[in-house]
Structure 1
Amino acid sequence: MEMNLSNLGNVKIIGLTGKFDIESTEEFEENFQRELKSKPPAIAIDMTKLDYIDSSGIGALIKSLNSIKNNKGVLILFGLKSMILNIFKLAKLDLFFQIMTTDAFHAKYGQKDDSDIDDLLKKKM
Structure 2
Amino acid sequence: MSEDIKRIFSSNLKEYMKINSENATKLSNSLNFSYSTVSDWINGNKMPRSKSLQILAEHYKLSTTDLLKQKNVRSNNEYHPSNNTKIIEKLITTQITGDQLDSILSFIDFTTRNNTGNGDSKK
TM-score by length of 1: 0.24
1 or 2, which has the higher helix percentage?
2
Structure (1/2) with the larger strand percentage: 1
